[in-house]
């Protein structure tokens, strides 16, 4: 299958194939949106376009303000270095995006086999993927910068500015995409079959935690107590002197961009030509190397993992106290699916990790301020904040995806002699149990540290657990109404409208509960009723209200599932 064509032929054929693939993707996008004949999708497309237009208007306005300010206030900056720095930062985005795209393409996209089966060389198929990625990044760049560039062209009376920048945006990502594509081909050789999604998820988690931890540790605004900016710490950009080096693409792009903005077209053209020549060369070389790497070994070299003997012994007997065998079966099956799939497991772990980063690292500094409130309901309520954030995250991610978790395997349950209501009850158990447990732990830990008085602490924890059960149940109901059985990817299981409604209802329930508790304290002060009595009454109303809303959610969800047809 190795290509024996003349050098560069693979790259040229890849270019043509890439454009063909791009056209197909565009066609699919149009079919799924404007031509879908689906009112919801068409409305979503229009809403998306309106949001983009609004963002563009805002960007245009801000750019105009910047231009006006620069006319009134002379600021001397090294524009070449500043723009080179911007391109270097953009390289970071390109690296991340390209890595995700390349790994996705090689490990998850099913159409690679289809393309490789066609009478095209491996080089051209892999080159076509790079072309598609460059085009995606090019459009993404334009999406974010188009209004600013057009406005700069109008203000400077140089309509060529947006066009010249478009050329720059088209050429600049090439070298990143090629290098990342080569790296991905090396990387996938050590990833076993079927573990691509896990690897991508791990990569995402590491990046997300890294960014948040770095932000927490380095951001001066977050380093100081009370979120106050230290007067002596001026906001500054980290400088990388090498960014504008004439030996680096960021330096070429920076010089070209600065020349375009100053109207020096000869200099701009020279640097653009250099970028074009380097991009073409690296693309041609990368295409050949990609082909060689692919032929040298592919992911199939690593066999799928066999389970360890220990894992087989640890098997649960499939029974849970208080639950019927059917419900226990669903709960245990869900637990296994959530904990064995890394993408699902993240749904448990990430909120806890972020909670630790946000609160765990900051809590000791804020503890004094909370304790100064003394014992009683206000301190107990403040202690519930971490648990509430955890509840928000878990109830949305676990509750809303509970029904969709079945995916295409939903037929197994639908074909069995069990009602949809029983199915929903099982789903409530499978999500409420872990959510309520983690929320209880978070609330308990916070109340123990704050020490608002044992009575208030106990009632606060009880409130958190009761609301956790009610809210998660509600989310399961909403998730059933907006169930998606076509997705196996955890991130895509939740319907955006379902998420929107879920978040809205969570906010309403939270605000209403907090208001009720504040009113109970005010009422006790005014009427001289014992505070504990009014507090308990407020808690009962808050939990009762949440349960009533949750019951409604489950009823709607059941109604929807009863009409479900597995076609």
Partner 1 sequence: MLSTRLLTKRYGSLTAVEDLDLEVRAGELFGFLGPNGAGKTTTIKMLVGLLRPTSGNAKVAGIDIAAEPEKAKALIGYVPDAATLYDKLSAREFLEFSGDLYHVERKLRDRRIAALLKLFDLQERGDDFLSGYSRGMRQKVSLAAALLHDPQVLFLDEPTVGLDPQSARQMKDILQDFCREGKTVFFSTHILEIAERMCTRLAIINHGRLVAMGSLQDLRHMVGQDGQSLEQIFLELTGSREDDVSAVLRGLES
Contacting residues toward partner 1, per CB under 8 A: 194, 304-307, 311-312, 315, 317-319, 325-326, 328-330, 332-333, 336-337, 340-341, 407-409, 411-419, 488, 565-567
CA-to-CA distance for 38 and 19, rounded, in angstroms?
28
- SS3 state at 483: coil
Closest distance of CB 412 from partner 1, Å: 7
CA-to-CA distance for 124 and 16, rounded, in angstroms?
9
Closest distance of CB 261 from partner 1, Å: 53
Q: For 394-454, give the DSSP string.
A: HIIIIIHHTTGGGGGGHHHHHTSS--HHHHHHHHHHHHHHHHHHHHHHHHHHHHHHH---H
CA-to-CA distance for 264 and 306, rounded, in angstroms?
63
Nearer to partner 1, 318 or 374 (CB): 318
Is 481 in contact with 404 (CB distance < 8 Å)?
A: no
Nearer to partner 1, 35 or 336 (CB): 336
DSSP 105: I
Burial environment of residue 565 by CB neighbours within 10 A (0 to 12, 13 to 18, 19 or more): exposed
Closest distance of CB 429 from partner 1, Å: 14
Distances (CA, A) of 306 to 27, 66, 195: 41, 60, 13
Closest distance of CB 409 from partner 1, Å: 5
CA-to-CA distance for 361 and 218, rounded, in angstroms?
13
DSSP 233: -
CA-to-CA distance for 93 and 105, rounded, in angstroms?
18
CA-to-CA distance for 181 and 511, rounded, in angstroms?
49
Nearer to partner 1, 319 or 555 (CB): 319
Closest distance of CB 423 from partner 1, Å: 10
Nearer to partner 1, 168 or 331 (CB): 331
Nearer to partner 1, 220 or 318 (CB): 318
CA-to-CA distance for 213 and 207, rounded, in angstroms?
10
Nearer to partner 1, 239 or 486 (CB): 486
Taking Cα atoms as reference points, which of 314, 342, 344, 398 lies closest to residue 194?
342
Nearer to partner 1, 81 or 338 (CB): 338
Is 535 in contact with 520 (CB distance < 8 Å)?
A: yes
Q: Which residue is listed with tokens 């540790």?
A: 217
Closest distance of CB 354 from partner 1, Å: 25
Closest distance of CB 299 from partner 1, Å: 14
- Which distant-in-sequence residues (6+ apart) come within 8 Å of 312 by Cβ? none
Nearer to partner 1, 86 or 326 (CB): 326
Closest distance of CB 109 from partner 1, Å: 18
Closest distance of CB 316 from partner 1, Å: 9
Nearer to partner 1, 71 or 315 (CB): 315
């Amino acid at each position: 299958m190795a290509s024996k064509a003349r050098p560069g032929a693979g790259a040229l054929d890849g270019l043509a194939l890439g454009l063909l693939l791009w056209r197909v993707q565009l066609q699919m996008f149009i079919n799924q949106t404007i031509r879908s004949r689906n009112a919801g999708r068409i409305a979503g497309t229009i809403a998306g376009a309106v949001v983009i237009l609004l963002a563009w208007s805002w960007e245009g306005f801000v750019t105009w303000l910047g231009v006006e300010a620069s006319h009134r206030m002379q600021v001397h900056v090294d524009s070449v270095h500043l723009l080179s720095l911007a391109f270097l930062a953009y390289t970071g985005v390109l690296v991340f995006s390209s890595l995700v795209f390349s790994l996705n393409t090689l490990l998850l996209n099913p159409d690679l086999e289809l393309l490789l089966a066609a009478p095209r060389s491996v080089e051209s198929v892999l080159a076509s993927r790079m072309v598609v990625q460059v085009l995606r990044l090019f459009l993404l760049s334009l999406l974010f910068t188009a209004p600013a560039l057009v406005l700069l062209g109008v203000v400077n009376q140089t309509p060529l500015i947006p066009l010249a920048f478009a050329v720059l945006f088209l050429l600049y990502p090439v070298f990143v995409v090629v290098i990342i594509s080569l790296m991905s081909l090396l990387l996938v050789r050590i990833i076993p079959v079927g573990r691509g999604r896990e690897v991508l998820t791990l990569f995402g988690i590491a990046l997300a935690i890294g960014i948040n931890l770095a932000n927490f540790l380095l951001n001066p605004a977050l380093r100081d107590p009370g979120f106050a900016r230290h007067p002596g710490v001026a906001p500054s950009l980290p400088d990388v002197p090498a960014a504008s080096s004439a030996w680096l693409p960021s330096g070429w792009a920076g010089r070209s961009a600065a020349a375009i903005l100053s109207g020096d077209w000869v200099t701009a053209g020279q640097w653009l030509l250099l970028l074009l020549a380097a991009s073409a060369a690296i693309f041609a070389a990368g295409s050949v190397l990609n082909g060689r790497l692919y032929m040298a070994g592919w992911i199939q070299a690593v066999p799928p993992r066999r389970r360890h003997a220990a894992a087989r012994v640890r098997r649960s007997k499939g029974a849970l106290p208080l639950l019927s065998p059917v419900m226990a079966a669903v709960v245990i099956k869900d637990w296994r699916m959530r904990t064995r799939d890394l993408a699902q497991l993240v749904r448990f772990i990430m909120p806890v990790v972020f909670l630790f980063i946000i609160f765990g690292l900051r809590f000791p500094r804020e503890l004094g301020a909370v304790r100064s409130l003394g014992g009683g309901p206000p301190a107990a309520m403040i202690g519930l904040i971490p648990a509430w954030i955890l509840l928000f995250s878990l109830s949305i991610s676990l509750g809303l995806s509970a029904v969709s978790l079945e995916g295409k395997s939903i037929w197994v349950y639908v074909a069995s002699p069990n009602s949809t209501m029983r199915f929903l009850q099982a789903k409530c158990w499978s999500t409420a149990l872990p959510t309520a447990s983690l929320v209880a732990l978070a609330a308990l830990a916070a109340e123990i540290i704050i020490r608002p008085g044992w009575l208030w602490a106990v009632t606060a924890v009880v409130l958190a657990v009761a609301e956790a059960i009610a809210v998660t149940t509600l989310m399961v109901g909403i998730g059933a109404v907006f169930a998606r059985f076509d997705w196996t990817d955890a991130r895509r299981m939740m319907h955006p409208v379902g998420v929107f409604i879920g978040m809205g209802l969570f906010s309403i329930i939270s605000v209403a509960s907090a208001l009720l508790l504040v009113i109970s304290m005010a009422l006790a002060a005014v009427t001289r009723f014992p505070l504990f009595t009014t507090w308990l009454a407020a808690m009962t109303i808050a939990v009762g209200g949440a349960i009533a809303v949750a019951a409604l959610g489950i009823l709607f969800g059941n109604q929807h599932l009863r009409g479900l047809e597995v076609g």
